[in-house]
A and B are shown apart, each in its own frame.
Chain A
């Protein structure tokens, strides 16, 4: 079983603040993806990171893949209410399967 631990499970911040959430595992993944899920919808892919140490930016979101390809972080700068959602990390392993963490629930208060 490929286990991904996401922390914190729940985070509530004021609009304009910065936040960082984490995804950790003892397993090595060939790549790692971040998704955002809103209530009543399926997860939507935000980014894929492949190389250890890789950093990718998507507007105010910065994603980093750990050097050993076991962990990742997501940093949001100047959070907006539209950033509210469940952020899921998923590691690719084996036969093109993804293992998902339980998610980081982020609430941005206007």
Chain B
């Protein structure tokens, strides 16, 4: 059974602070890992992905994520958050060799950025 766990349901930070959102997964095969952001009332937007190579991947708007095979993790980070980063962040896994490669999502972390 594939699972994606996001341990923090809600994170509150001040503008300019750094933030790390945790994602742990359980899957036996080769996978793609990705992060998506969902602003209120909008669809999901892609932030970044990892499949192989350098375990630190850069995404849009200053986000980066680090893959760790030993920890089965793919944590998302940003060095300095902006108020517009307030949103729900979803970690997702998709099997690399399955025909449709449907995404399996975590339940999200809501980030609230205070001025």
Question: Does B associate with A?
Answer: no
